[in-house]
Structure 1
Amino acid sequence: MSFNISLSGINAASTELSVTGNNIANVNTTGFKESRAEFANMFQASSYGLARNAVGVGVKTSMVAQQFSQGSINTTGRSLDMAISGEGFFTLSMNGSQIYSRAGNFHTDSAGYVVNPQGARLQVFAPNANGNGFDVGAIQDLKLTGSDGPPKETSQVGLAFTLPAQAQPPVATPFDPANTNSYNMTSGGVTVYDSLGVSHTQTSYFVKSATPNEWTVHNYVDGVAVGTPTTLQFSNTGALVSPTDGLVSLDAFTPSSGAGVLSMTLDITGSTQYGESFALRNTAQDGYAAGKLDEVSVSETGVVIARYSNGAALELGQLALANFNNSQGLTPAGDNAWAESFTSGTPRVGAPGSSDFGSLQSGALEGSTVDLTEQLVNMILAQRNFQANAQMISTMDQTTQTIINMR
């Protein structure tokens, strides 16, 4: 019996050495969680139960428990490196099966999907169809679109100008944009965009009337008149009084590019009539052409934003984190990942920073939780334990030999 007791001690010490060795081997593994060998004593059971003064029959390994403590977060500056500060796991899809990980060293594959080094795809909540928020009931693979950023057609053109108060009506009539003597000044042309991202030029021509403080503005797109001339009225202090809201509606323009009809409004709010010279203080418009993907950023709440060369920003999804009632019940799947089990319970899925989920830090990775000094001490203790149990077997062997050699 004593031999078996000591043998169980040797097996326990060997298990602890293996666990410690595995921890030490993964001291630099991203997102690694150290394990701890947990042991329980054993007693010989009988139909009468355990005797009050029963002697134990050894030790057994009851569990190798992973410790899901927070690892140190180290900045990398790479946008697709992500670290969770707090509770939760990244949700990944590997060949249709969901797995979970704390390792956030992601990259894109040949198809543009965001994957871990083993090719498992990162999961996100899909954007709502109306572009407002995310559908927490729909989880999908995160894919960085390889196409151009979609264009946006211009709906409003803004002009801020100062017209000369002492201007005289043009010498040539009627107005003709090709005749510079038929107008006083021009905005010079503002680039606008149709629904296909094709650029066009919107130009405003200003004509002084014979009535004091009154002007007429003629608006053209690509040389085609868009609307009838609009009268501008200024007060005797130079402020714009008509149109009262500062908005001039332009007639629809049909591009030859095959794009949809371009309907725009000219906003001249803040324009004035002062002094002796014309000044175009500002031009603006709210459209843009198609753009190339410049960068991807991830917010603390896990929103993945693609930014394009045309200045547009598109939300591609929000990271779906998972948490469990019993994280230690997860089944290790290797490659820094775990799988759901009956012991862990079903996953609760949510966004970073919500409920009991931690926040997300982009451009950083969570390091291993292994404390090398602690593991070296554990190694020494396990070695002593192994030696002591081996010595116990040697002592029992000597005792047995003594009994056998009795005469």
Structure 2
Amino acid sequence: MAFNTGLSGLRAASVDLDVTGNNIANASTVGFKGSKVQFGDLYASGFLSGGTNPIGDGVRVQDVKQSFGQGNISFTDNGLDMAISGDGFFILNNNGEIRYSRAGQFGIDKDGFVTNNQNMRVQGFTADDDGNLSGIRGDLQIETDNLAPRRTTNLRSDLNLDSRQSVLESRVVDFQTVSMGDLTVDDVFRIAYSDGTNSPDITIPAGSTARDAAGIINQQRGLSASATTAVTLGQEFSITDLEDALAAGDTEFRIELDGQNVPISLSGVSSLQGLVDAINASSATSLSASLVDGGSDIRIIDNRGSNVGISFASTDAGVNQPLEVFQGDVNIQSDRTVQDILPAGASSEIADAFAGGDLRITNSFNPLDQRTYNHATSTTIFDSLGNSHELTQFFVKNPSPGNGIGVSEWSVYLQIDGELVAGTDTSPYTARFNEDGTLQSINGDPNGEIVITDWIPKDPNGEPNGADGPPLPGEEVVTPIPEPPTTSAFVVDLGNTTQYGANFGVNDQRQNGYSTGRLSGLDVSDQGVIFARYTNGQSKSLGQVALASFNNTNGLSPVGETTWVETFESGQPIIGAPDTGTLGSIKASSVEESNVDLSAELVNLIIAQRNYQANAKTIETSDAVTQTIINLR
């Protein structure tokens, strides 16, 4: 009996040595799980009884149990290497046979499938062409085709316009010219300003020169004036008589400015051109003369608006033109602070001239002149061919429609590749803001959307580049732009724009288009989603790794190559996405090392060796005792 007991001990110790040796051999195997031998003693027993002999019959190996404890996670330089932190197994397709593994050393085969180093395909949840994950499980495949371009259909700008900015645009009313000859009585008027105030009554006395009237007007807030007096001799005098007088030689030509004589030297003057030269050479620097109407008339201008008196006489020619006085005209302008000019009496030449004047903008918006807009920001958009274009938004502060109370207003201009779009070349969009700085509307739309329907994508030479163009006339454009888009129409969303007392800033600006791109790399998230990175800066999910767990992990059967298969004892797999339920998360560019504790295994190796030696000693001792009995004779 001692022989059998010792022999069972040798067998058990040998199995322990084998298991310990296997653990040591796989101490560096990725995803390996160490095993431990479990022993049980043996006793003789009969049917329905424990027997009468309490002496044991040795030992037997009850089980070799694997330890599925977590191994250390180490980083690698392979983006597709994955480690499971927590519970779960990778699902591998081995030519139709499903295996499970913790070894995440993966790569890509010639067909783009994600495989392990035994060419088993990794299974997961596949994605559609738009990168949307489905619940369908299959072999994960990396598509290496170029990413098709996507046109821009929406641009969202989240920005702040500085409410402290001043109004840059200057609006000017050009009065009709006021002739001083029409002021036969005092002209009395007052100015109504845009801030609701009025000026005192202003009087221009009858008989004032244009120069005097301009001086009075220039003293008023919001008004400016210039005065000129122009006389055409061919209209006021007989130019033939003047030519005859100059030709006769004994001629006097007289000019007075506000009654003061201006000396004109006629020495050697015998023609109209000579007279022009003499006037321009006079001491009166405000005077200028020129030939008009093909050289047949003379035009004399005093640029200060003095009363100009003119006469000429010639004894030899028998000509005597008496002195005639001409009054000047006043040209008046008003800036945006002036709302109206009102007569303070029965009528006013100044008020009538204001009412008949023309409105013009002296510094109208010009995208090439940064002095004509307050803020600007640019972003890149894409057409249907993936060509990039630059869209610039310009913002110009307007006068408040409520005199600065309750509502603020800005003009919005849009430009693509240097051409104004959305009709802003003729009429900008108007953005209104509430008193709390939030957007009230854009052209009455509370959503703050601008729909661009007139953009024709062009090449660098300014010619259409073949991409989809604007909608056809009468074609309705709805927002958001439905998929797939068929025109170049897109939406600029300014709904999050604010107007606070802070510096202009673009908080966020996103558009949904992109150019074509080539695959440049892969990333894996903690949820096991495989993202493809492209050269155009886009990313797209290609699939998600699936994990499986079992109610009885120890029931799995190892089949080599660091894989296991399902058995009746393990139960059916519970399959799900990483980091959900009880399943662990994925660590990318990492692998799970073997969970073998090499120090402990070396100690176990010594213990197994001692056990083997001790059991061998039992057999040796039994042999010696048996030999003693044999020698009794």
Alignment of 1:247 with 2:435, yes or no, is no
User: Retained in 2: the 8 A contact 1:216–1:230?
Assistant: no
Q: Which moved more, 1:319-328 or 1:216-225?
A: 216-225
For the residue of structure 2 that corresponds to 1:112, the secondary structure is coil
For 1:349, the equivalent position in structure 2 comes to 575
For 1:166, the equivalent position in structure 2 comes to 169
Unaligned runs of 5+ in 2: 172-359, 402-408, 458-464, 469-485
For 2:35, the equivalent position in structure 1 comes to 35
User: Retained in 2: the 8 A contact 1:36–1:64?
Assistant: yes
Equivalences for residues 5-404 of structure 1 within 5 A: 5-47=5-47, 49-76=49-76, 78-127=78-127, 134-136=133-135, 138-157=136-155, 165-166=168-169, 191-200=380-389, 229-233=426-430, 242-244=442-444, 245=446, 246-251=448-453, 257=466, 260-267=486-493, 270=497, 286=511, 287-404=513-630
Superposed displacement of residue 121, structure 1: 1.7
Q: Give the Cα separation in 2 of the matches to 1:166 and 1:206.
A: 12
Q: Give the Cα separation in 2 of the matches to 1:249 and 1:334.
A: 63
Distance 1:388 1:200, change over 3 A: same
User: Retained in 1: the 8 A contact 2:8–2:60?
Assistant: yes
What letter matches 2:429 in structure 1? L
Distance 1:11 1:197, change over 3 A: same
Q: Give the Cα separation in 1 of the matches to 2:584 and 2:421.
A: 57
Distance 1:95 1:164, change over 3 A: farther
Q: Once the two structures are superposed, what CA deviation does each residue of 1:129-173 show, in whole Å capped at 9, x if it has no partner?
A: 8855x434x2122222211233221013468899972367689xx
Q: Once the two structures are superposed, what CA deviation does each residue of 1:21-44 show, in whole Å capped at 9, x if it has no partner?
A: 011111111111110011222233
What letter matches 2:146 in structure 1? D
Superposed displacement of residue 370, structure 1: 1.0
Distance 1:42 1:268, change over 3 A: closer
Distance 1:397 1:79, change over 3 A: same
What letter matches 1:340 in structure 2? E
For the residue of structure 1 that corresponds to 2:521, the secondary structure is strand
What letter matches 2:585 in structure 1? S
Distance 1:350 1:405, change over 3 A: same
Q: Which moved more, 1:107-116 or 1:27-36?
A: 107-116
Superposed displacement of residue 252, structure 1: 6.2
Superposed displacement of residue 6, structure 1: 1.5
Q: Once the two structures are superposed, what CA deviation does each residue of 1:30-87 show, in whole Å capped at 9, x if it has no partner?
A: 1111100112222334446431434332222121110111112223354322221221
User: Retained in 1: the 8 A contact 2:81–2:589?
Assistant: yes
For the residue of structure 1 that corresponds to 2:148, the secondary structure is coil
Superposed displacement of residue 348, structure 1: 0.7
What letter matches 1:27 in structure 2? A
User: Retained in 1: the 8 A contact 2:44–2:51?
Assistant: no
Q: Which moved more, 1:285-294 or 1:100-109?
A: 285-294
What letter matches 1:247 in structure 2? E
Distance 1:220 1:328, change over 3 A: closer
What letter matches 2:574 in structure 1? R
User: Retained in 2: the 8 A contact 1:214–1:231?
Assistant: no
The two structures, once aligned, show a CA RMSD in angstroms of: 4.1
Distance 1:5 1:281, change over 3 A: closer
Q: Once the two structures are superposed, what CA deviation does each residue of 1:164-193 show, in whole Å capped at 9, x if it has no partner?
A: 72367689xxxxx9xx99xx89x8986432
For the residue of structure 1 that corresponds to 2:20, the secondary structure is helix
What letter matches 1:31 in structure 2? G
For 2:328, the equivalent position in structure 1 comes to none
Q: Give the Cα separation in 1 of the matches to 2:410 and 2:541.
A: 47
User: Retained in 1: the 8 A contact 2:432–2:442?
Assistant: no
Distance 1:46 1:281, change over 3 A: closer
TM-score after normalising by structure 2: 0.54
Matched residues, number: 396
For 1:277, the equivalent position in structure 2 comes to none
Q: Give the Cα separation in 2 of the matches to 1:318 and 1:380.
A: 46
Higher Cα Rg, which structure: 2
Superposed displacement of residue 220, structure 1: 6.3
Q: Give the Cα separation in 1 of the matches to 2:466 and 2:49.
A: 91
Superposed displacement of residue 295, structure 1: 2.8
TM-score after normalising by structure 1: 0.80
User: Retained in 1: the 8 A contact 2:391–2:414?
Assistant: no
User: Retained in 1: the 8 A contact 2:131–2:540?
Assistant: no
Distance 1:195 1:21, change over 3 A: same
User: Retained in 1: the 8 A contact 2:9–2:59?
Assistant: yes
Q: Once the two structures are superposed, what CA deviation does each residue of 1:202-260 show, in whole Å capped at 9, x if it has no partner?
A: 678999x9xx99979576679797668544347799x9975245433222667654664
Distance 1:57 1:402, change over 3 A: same
User: Retained in 1: the 8 A contact 2:71–2:593?
Assistant: yes
Distance 1:60 1:151, change over 3 A: same
Q: Which moved more, 1:34-43 or 1:159-168?
A: 159-168
Q: Give the Cα separation in 1 of the matches to 2:411 and 2:582.
A: 63
Q: Which moved more, 1:71-80 or 1:146-155?
A: 71-80
Unaligned runs of 5+ in 1: 172-176, 273-279
Q: Once the two structures are superposed, what CA deviation does each residue of 1:78-134 show, in whole Å capped at 9, x if it has no partner?
A: 4322221221111111112211111122222222222211111222122378855x4
Distance 1:366 1:281, change over 3 A: closer
User: Retained in 1: the 8 A contact 2:149–2:514?
Assistant: yes
What letter matches 1:250 in structure 2? I
For 1:276, the equivalent position in structure 2 comes to none
Q: Give the Cα separation in 1 of the matches to 2:556 and 2:51.
A: 37
User: Retained in 1: the 8 A contact 2:31–2:594?
Assistant: yes
Q: Give the Cα separation in 2 of the matches to 1:236 and 1:9.
A: 91
